[in-house]
Structure 1
Amino acid sequence: MARNIGGQYTTHRVLGRGGAGTVWLGEGPEGPVAIKVLREDLAADPDLAERFAHERHALLGLEHPHIVGVHDLLVSEGPEGRDIALVMDLVRGPDLRAHLDRERRLAPHDAVALTAEVASALAVAHAAGIVHRDVKPENILLDPVEGGRGEGAGRGFTALLTDFGVAKLIDEPRHGGKGGVVGTPDYMAPEIVEGLPPRAAVDIYALVTVLYELLAGFTPFGGGHPGAVLRRQVTETAAPLPGVPAELWELIQQCLAKAPASRLRAAELASRLRELLPAVAGLPPLDIGDPLAEPTPEAEPAPAAAHAAGAADEDQGPERVAVPLVRGAAPDSERATHTRMRVPDADELAGGAHGTARVIRPAGAPRAGSARHGAAARRRRRLAVTAAALLAAGAVGGWLLFSGGDGDSGDNGAPPGVVERLDEPGEP
């Protein structure tokens, strides 16, 4: 059903739904556009309209070949209430999440080239003082390349980063509050988890997490309860990916550093990635298994929220679903929330074992479990053996203490085996 937005734009049909709102195919004075209408509860906030007006000029002036352009930011009153919407360029291709759901992982050259495109977009935004704060595959659109020419022609598409400013606009005191944390757990930088203000370095961390996922088929710290994911972001290191050139892995490690100052800037990241393109040219997609795909008796099973119910087809890998940050929040097609949770305190963050979050294995190899579970399983086995030995010793000692001397099985009523051990030469 057609709906008028702001007097000069009309929505026609839904293109997608996410944690912050609904994206519509729309029509404006200059032709087709995409219109992102924020959720009703967000639009009802009178302070949000003021924040939109404050950010309007900065977002409208953000132009780059790999950024989805924003035509307008609208606040309008209608018979159904207030509408707050972003009017953006219409991109005909899918988002990167849909592409990954189909392909599972990319060849290293395609993954590195795509990440370099997004890094160059972030460099322009950061220079303008804008932090995206929610870089993830759902916010990277793939624009088809026509005629087989230009950047991205080998892949058939070029990457465009969208949803600039949305996370910042809705993450204000009324919606987050002091001590709140907003974002998508799999891509959230450690400093956000610890309650520090988000700077440009959080976008670098999130983007290289996306690069890791493009190569591996899974994120370095994802899986399980969102609180566990956030803890891993702070305490654990990413497991190396076999088959990745050393120079590329060093770059990934540097940009996943826990200290924001250790990460590269966006322009440096884009340049370094492009320099690495010859080194990864011709490499096939990595042949590794997802550590969460095959649970073992030793490893603790991940909660059902981490994966879709039921086993996924082996060729497609496990189905990924949204992991809401608050209990009861419904998963959405963006695998993200824009809801928030309390920042974990120091004791909670330090509560898990330190080490690697993943043990990467070749595809088809049996899963050994993650490092944090393996050590715990060994400790449990040692404790069980020790307890069994103590119980056996206690049973024998109790039998000797309370049995009479007129038993039928040997001296002092003890079994013959016990008598043989006690009756040493020279003893009475």
Structure 2
Amino acid sequence: MARKIGSRYTAHQILGRGSAGTVWLGDGPEGPVAIKLLREDLAADQDLVERFVQERSALLHLDHPRVVGVRDLVVDGNELALVMDLVRGTDLRTRLERDRRLAPEAAAAIAADVADGLAAAHAAGLVHRDVKPENVLLDALSLEGPGGAPPALLTDFGVAKLIDSPSRTRATSIIGTPDYLAPEIVEGLPPRAAVDIYALATVLYELLAGFTPFGGGHPGAVLRRHVTESVAPLPGIPDELWQLIHQCLAKAPASRLRAVELATRLRELLPSLEGLPPLDIDEHVEDGYEHDEADEGDGEGAAHGPATGAAQAAAGGGAVPLVHSRVGPDANRDTHTSMRVPAADELAGGAHGTARAPRPVGEARAGSARHHRVAERRRRLKIGVVAALVAAALAVGGWLATSEDDTGSLPAPAAGYSGD
């Protein structure tokens, strides 16, 4: 059913839902648009509405081909809406759910597009603060780029900043999605441009590996890993690409590249990535527990049925929401949620080392259930071999004793054996 949004726009059908609101297909004086209608409780927050109006100019003037443009901001009674350019296509999360991982050339091309958009925003003094696959749209109507990747556009600029208002969160809260949060945010520092670079490097890692470098398990554990653990290298990608990712995932913000540098470096690497297939690695975390594909059908443990929807996304190692969304089944990953900042002793209490090391397919990860089963099989085999050797030794000893009792002496040496 159509509904009026302000005096100039009409929303016709829902395109998607998120924790901040609902995205509608609509039209206005200049043709089709996408309308992000924020939740009613957000619209009722006067502080947020004021921030919304204050940000209007900056958002409207962020004009770049790699950013979904904001055409208007509507404040009408209990309705608060962003009117945006309509992108015909899908988001990057949907692509990951379908393919699990992308070829290096396509992954680097998409990341370079997003870096271009971030460079324009950072130059205008804007920080996105919530870069993740859900906020990257793939334009299906434009010509495909390197590796067959459609052009990528970054959306939802300014929404995190709008919703992160003093009346809604405390100074000890974290806003964002855990898998993509830079360590300085976890430690309570203000977000600057470098947090977007860290998040984009995390997205690029996920496009290549099929899972994020520090994700999996309880959100608190994910946050701790960002601060205490080093990123595990990805086998099978060119060293230059890995060094680029590693630098942008540095714990120190000053060590990361700027967005314009990252975009340039990625595009310089594209020729060397041409024709490389998606990585053949195996790391699979589901609801905090590892599930190895090679385990299926081995007769040990419960079978796992095919994953669909949110479960399929979780199986691919996607973002772990801080709290479960209540706005509908489509919002399986919250965009703007808050969580207490861990204390220093909590951050220091985790195991230091490398998180979620990828490995060749079929090889069990140390500490996983399958790893323990393999180790147990080996232990039992060793015990069996030792028991067989002991039994054989006892049998030989018994035979020797019997022979001595029967003859009164040990058996004569075989021919050719001197006995000296």
Q: CA RMSD in A?
A: 2.6
Contact 1:291 1:369 in 2 (8 A): no
Q: Pick from 275, 297, 307: which aligns with 2:268?
A: 275
Point out where structure 2 has 5 or more consecutive residues left out of the alignment: 293-302, 380-420
Distance 1:153 1:144 in 2: 14
Contact 1:72 1:87 in 2 (8 A): yes
Say whether residues 1:133 and 2:147 are aligned partners. Answer: no
Q: Pick from 315, 318, 322: which aligns with 1:325?
A: 322
Give the 3-state SS of the residue equivalent to 2:82 in structure 1.
strand
Q: In the alignment, residue 167 of structure 1 is paired with which amino acid? A: A
Give the 3-state SS of the residue equivalent to 2:151 in structure 1.
strand
Do the aligned partners of residues 181 and 215 (structure 1) sit closer, same or farther apart at CA in structure 2, a change above 3 Å counting? same
Do the aligned partners of residues 191 and 360 (structure 1) sit closer, same or farther apart at CA in structure 2, a change above 3 Å counting? same
Distance 2:52 2:137 in 1: 23
CA positional deviation for 1:325: 1.6
Q: Pick from 175, 179, 182: which aligns with 1:182?
A: 175
Contact 2:194 2:258 in 1 (8 A): yes
Contact 1:291 1:360 in 2 (8 A): no
Q: Which residue of 2 aligns with 1:418?
A: none
Say whether residues 1:83 and 2:79 are aligned partners. Answer: yes
Q: Pick from 356, 359, 368: which aligns with 1:358?
A: 356
Give the 3-state SS of the residue equivalent to 1:228 in structure 2.
helix
Say whether residues 1:228 and 2:221 are aligned partners. Answer: yes
- What does 1:299-314 align with in structure 2 at a 5 Å threshold? 310-312=304-306
Say whether residues 1:28 and 2:28 are aligned partners. Answer: yes
Q: Which residue of 2 aligns with 1:388?
A: none
Point out where structure 1 has 5 or more consecutive residues left out of the alignment: 298-308, 382-428
Do the aligned partners of residues 255 and 61 (structure 1) sit closer, same or farther apart at CA in structure 2, a change above 3 Å counting? same
Do the aligned partners of residues 55 and 295 (structure 1) sit closer, same or farther apart at CA in structure 2, a change above 3 Å counting? closer
Distance 2:153 2:239 in 1: 28
CA positional deviation for 1:369: 3.0
- Percent pairwise identity: 70
CA positional deviation for 1:154: 5.1
CA positional deviation for 1:319: 5.3
Contact 1:12 1:26 in 2 (8 A): yes
CA positional deviation for 1:39: 1.1
TM-score by length of 1: 0.78
Distance 2:307 2:14 in 1: 29
Q: Which residue of 2 aligns with 1:53?
A: 53
CA positional deviation for 1:310: 5.0
Distance 2:318 2:263 in 1: 29
Q: Which residue of 2 aligns with 1:369?
A: 367
Q: Which residue of 2 aligns with 1:119?
A: 115
Say whether residues 1:295 and 2:290 are aligned partners. Answer: yes
- What does 1:417-428 align with in structure 2 at a 5 Å threshold? none
Q: Which residue of 2 aligns with 1:104?
A: 100
Distance 2:276 2:320 in 1: 32
Distance 1:86 1:195 in 2: 29
Q: Pick from 192, 204, 218: which aligns with 1:199?
A: 192
Q: Which residue of 2 aligns with 1:349?
A: 347
Contact 2:212 2:318 in 1 (8 A): no
Do the aligned partners of residues 216 and 363 (structure 1) sit closer, same or farther apart at CA in structure 2, a change above 3 Å counting? same
Q: Which residue of 1 aligns with 2:201?
A: 208
Do the aligned partners of residues 225 and 311 (structure 1) sit closer, same or farther apart at CA in structure 2, a change above 3 Å counting? farther
Distance 2:149 2:268 in 1: 21
Contact 2:177 2:334 in 1 (8 A): yes
Contact 1:19 1:332 in 2 (8 A): no
Give the 3-state SS of the residue equivalent to 2:95 in structure 1.
helix
Distance 1:259 1:216 in 2: 23
CA positional deviation for 1:326: 3.7
CA positional deviation for 1:177: 1.7
Q: In the alignment, residue 353 of structure 1 is paired with which amino acid? A: A
Q: Which residue of 1 aligns with 2:67?
A: 67
Q: Which residue of 2 aligns with 1:336?
A: 334
Q: In the alignment, residue 357 of structure 1 is paired with which amino acid? A: A
Q: Pick from 254, 257, 263: which aligns with 2:250?
A: 257
Do the aligned partners of residues 42 and 136 (structure 1) sit closer, same or farther apart at CA in structure 2, a change above 3 Å counting? same
CA positional deviation for 1:157: 1.6
Q: In the alignment, residue 230 of structure 2 is paired with which amino acid? A: T
Do the aligned partners of residues 310 and 39 (structure 1) sit closer, same or farther apart at CA in structure 2, a change above 3 Å counting? farther
TM-score by length of 2: 0.80
CA positional deviation for 1:238: 1.0
